[in-house]
Amino acid sequence: MKQAIITGASKGLGKALAHQLAAKGYELLLVARSEKMLTALAEEITATNQVKAVSLALDLSDAQSSRTIFEWCQKNQFAASVLINNAGYACWGFFESMPIDQQEKMLQVNTGSLVNLTHAMLPVLKKHPAAYIMNIASTAAYQAVPTMALYAASKAFVKSFSRGLRYELRNTNVSVTCLSPGPMATNFIQQAGMEAMQETAKKFEMPAEVVAKKGLQAMFNKKSESIPGVVNYLTVKFSNILPDALLEKIAANLYLTKLK
């Protein structure tokens, strides 16, 4: 039986990934905080596919949470060959003005728990003939973003970690892919309190289902990185050639002017 773990599966991109992996015949372990949403999704997936989906409600800002996921897998003989580290969110504002404990929690979700869960699950992944890790970064991984300084830095971490780990595992059965979406029509903007950016984001938004499909294609084709959407892809490629100071000014014009 093919089995997969998806973090941040209760809504948005994670939910889309869950539906699409279930359709490919994967049993799923769905992880996030919203217990009711997760349970409903697990029931819906189990009812509409020939696979079982189970939910594990926990807070990934808790440093022990990845251990809990690993132990759940051991206890329930859930031998995942796919690990998707999707859970993540942004804190929007000036670094100096936002409480540091809130920002530390974001870092733990976006990076710390991703790293810990990957480390815990690698021995399990290595037992399969072919196994896949997909880490969700962002187009913000490719440049600094004033007013989202720590979020962008956390996603740059995810991209760099994914590439380094991929190389280390190049002669093994485990492939690592980093998926970097641009704006998506999810709960992300509301969660970050970025409603003032909604109008701008709408112009570039991609449906989570399309991003999920592109991501899974890249993952199963063992690609190192995926940046879905032509505009997103070109923006990232331009960011490689434009001076950092100019990119930061452009980002500041976009985000800082909307920050109250």
Ligand X SMILES: NC(=O)c1ccc[n+]([C@@H]2O[C@H](COP(=O)([O-])OP(=O)(O)OC[C@H]3O[C@@H](n4cnc5c(N)ncnc54)[C@H](OP(=O)(O)O)[C@@H]3O)[C@@H](O)[C@H]2O)c1
User: CA angle, corner 130, sides to 48 and 28, nearest 5?
Assistant: 25
What character string, x for contact with ligand X (CB under 6 A) and - otherwise, covers 194-233? Answer: --------------x-------------------------
- 26 is a catalytic site residue: no
| Residue closer to ligand X (CB basis): 81 or 138 | 138
Contact residue for ligand X among 28, 84, 109, 251 (CB under 6 A): 109
Among residues 132, 142, 151, 255, the one annotated as catalytic is 151
8-state DSSP, 206: B
Instruction: Of 207, 111, 116, give the one whose Cα is nearest residue 152.
Output: 111
**Residues 127-186 interacting with ligand X (rule: CB under 6 A):** 136, 138, 181, 183-184, 186
CB of 229 to ligand X, least distance (A): 11
Contact residue for ligand X among 45, 51, 60, 247 (CB under 6 A): 60
Q: Does the footprint of ligand X cover residue 112 (CB under 6 A)?
A: no
Instruction: Of 146, 150, 176, 159, give the one whose Cα is nearest residue 236.
Output: 159
Q: Does the footprint of ligand X cover residue 59 (CB under 6 A)?
A: yes
- Measured from the Cβ of residue 245, the count of other Cβ atoms closer than 10 Å reads 9
Cα 239–chain centre separation: 21
Residue where the block lists tokens 């804190």: 91
- Give the separation between CA 255 and CA 61, rounded to whole angstroms: 26
| Residue closer to ligand X (CB basis): 173 or 231 | 231
Residues 6+ apart with CB under 8 A from 260: 196
Catalytic positions are 151
Q: What residues make contact with ligand X under the rule CB under 6 A? A: 8-14, 32-34, 59-61, 86-89, 109, 136, 138, 181, 183-184, 186-188, 191, 208
